[in-house]
Amino acid sequence: MNLFPQSRFPFTANLSLADSRSMGSFTDTNVQYRRLGLLQTYRPLSGAWNANGGYDRSEVTGNFGGDTVDRLHGNFSTRIDNQNFNASASASRSESENTSYNDFFVSGSHNYQFDEEWSIGTTGSYTGQNFSTRSADGTAPDTNVKATSAQLFSVANWNPLDSKWRGSGTLRYFQTSSTASAGNALQSSILGGTAGLSYQASRNLSLFGSFGFNGDDKGNSSTFESAGGTYSGDPLSFGEYAYTWSSSVSGSNSSASNTSSARSVTGSASHSLMRSWLQENQGTLSASISQSVSASQSTGIGSNTSHSIGHSASLSYSANPTETLNGYLSASLSDTRTFGETNSAFQMLNVQVSGQWRISAYSALTSNLTWQTSRQQSDSNTPVVITDEFGRPLLVNQSTQNQNTSLSGSLSYSHSRFLGFRGLRYGLDFRANTAHDESRRFGNPDAPREPERASLDLDQRLGYRIGRLDTQLQFRVAEIQGNRNQLLYLRLSRDFGAF
């Protein structure tokens, strides 16, 4: 429901109810969904300010019990001359069968542009969380953890128009406290700051230096200094190929009140070769390869010497042959290896497809899919002593290896005059998201419960409208926790009123 949608104070309310029951060889579900959303927005006749506030509630009940999320939120922003102000606040509560989570968040920001050279921005926030768990059978003790944190951060930038110098500085204060069920309390506060200065010596050479400090309420303090430079060579052309290269070197020193100082020196160099081919169908094919090497040496605490080398290659194709068709396809492969006290290797392959195709006046196809796989391996050159089952010491080398593959994105097709019948609509929507999402647990009412979240989802809908009566048939296939679920759903709706 939308009230006064064209006014200065529009109000939006939505309520949705759903009941899903299924029995089969894969899984049995009995889930009811209830979702309520209220939003009020206001802006004045004159003045550059606006405000909004809302309430959201999401209830999911089923064989697992209940899962409820409540959230209140508000926002205010205004602009006065060269100053911007913004304030926001939210409070949420997530309650499930054996866990509950409460949090609140208050933040404010101020940005001031003094002139063309100077600007300053300040942000402050205060947050609180309360997480509780209850034993399902009463055999384990209940747990309760409370935590609060406050932060104030300011940054100033100096960017003179007719100078090769640039500068910036930051100041940060952070305070946190937490209390567990056993009564153990932790509290700390930290004050820190940084200052940096850079100089553009030439078109190719830039130099920089920075300083930082930190101190806490327990009397510990530390400082950090660094300096370095970067040189980027002019691009070179070899026929249709473009070649670029760059190098950098930096050094740093850090010291703390309770430890000895540490120093490090790092140097790196990289180069790349690129080429593009223009196609007859207004498409562009681009390819590039690159290589980078780096070396670092540190002394003091955690002294280490390491070298790394990386290679990457990418191939992309973009086309816009007509006003109704455009697309993009890319693939990239990278390999990075590090040698030192710990040898490691990391490889990643990424493929992306996106595009839009207006097939006809009634149908369209859109896609945005990303597939990625990565592998990481590390081997320590320092043996670790362990004890076998007979108490004898053994020297073993630590080695870890893991591989991750993910698919995300969507593919959709729509036709507003399916099979040539006026009023007959067809839509196909495929969505993939194999990554985990725990945001509902932390107060997001629009996020699904992770056990019920579909990693692969194919949704097809066929609709037909006659006057105010609308009919829709839905067939959905989803993969949830490795199980395939199918849904056949028929909906009839009728509109009332003048809008």
Residue 206 — pLDDT band, cuts 50, 70, 90? Answer: very high
Instruction: Supply the pLDDT for residue 389.
Output: 52
Q: How far apart are CA 447 and CA 453, in angstroms?
A: 9
Which helix (H) or strand (E) covers residue 287, if one does? strand 283-299
Instruction: Supply the pLDDT for residue 26.
Output: 41
- Mean residue pLDDT of the chain comes to 85
pLDDT (average), residues 465-488: 83
pLDDT in tens, 60-97: 887 777 889 999 999 999 998 899 999 999 999 988 87
Domain boundaries, the chain: 1-83
User: Among all chains, which residue has been given the structure tokens 């000895």?
Assistant: 260
Instruction: Supply the pLDDT for residue 183.
Output: 67
Is the model's pLDDT at 442 over the cut of 70? Answer: no
Instruction: Supply the pLDDT for residue 338.
Output: 92
Instruction: Supply the pLDDT for residue 27.
Output: 47
**Phi-psi domain of 467 (left: phi exceeds 0; alpha: psi -120 through 50; beta: other):** left
Instruction: Supply the pLDDT for residue 340.
Output: 83
Instruction: Supply the pLDDT for residue 332.
Output: 96
Residue 312 — pLDDT band, cuts 50, 70, 90? Answer: very high
What percent of the chain stands above pLDDT 90? 46
pLDDT (average), residues 237-242: 91
Q: How far apart are CA 261 and CA 254, in angstroms?
A: 6
Beta bridge partners, 104, equal 91, 128
Is the model's pLDDT at 28 over the cut of 90? Answer: no
The whole-angstrom distance between residue 278's C-alpha and the CA centroid of its chain comes to: 34
Instruction: Supply the pLDDT for residue 181.
Output: 67
More confident residue, 8 or 264: 264
What is the residue-wise DSSP string for 418-483? Answer: GGG-TTEEEEEEEEEE-S---TGGGT-TTSPPGGG--SEEEEEEEEEEETTEEEEEEEEEEEETTE
Contact 41, 9 (CB under 8 A): yes
Contact 344, 338 (CB under 8 A): yes
pLDDT in tens, 375-430: 988 876 555 555 555 555 555 556 677 888 888 889 999 999 998 888 899 999 99
Instruction: Supply the pLDDT for residue 443.
Output: 58
Q: Identify which of 39-48, 93-102, 103-112 has the greatest average pLDDT.
A: 103-112
Provide the 8-state DSSP code for 233: P
Instruction: Supply the pLDDT for residue 65.
Output: 75
Residue 317 — pLDDT band, cuts 50, 70, 90? Answer: very high
What percent of the chain stands above pLDDT 70? 85
Q: How far apart are CA 89 and CA 126, in angstroms?
A: 10
* Residues near 487 by beta carbon (within 8 Å), at least 6 away in sequence: 20, 22, 474, 475, 476, 477, 478
Instruction: Supply the pLDDT for residue 165.
Output: 95
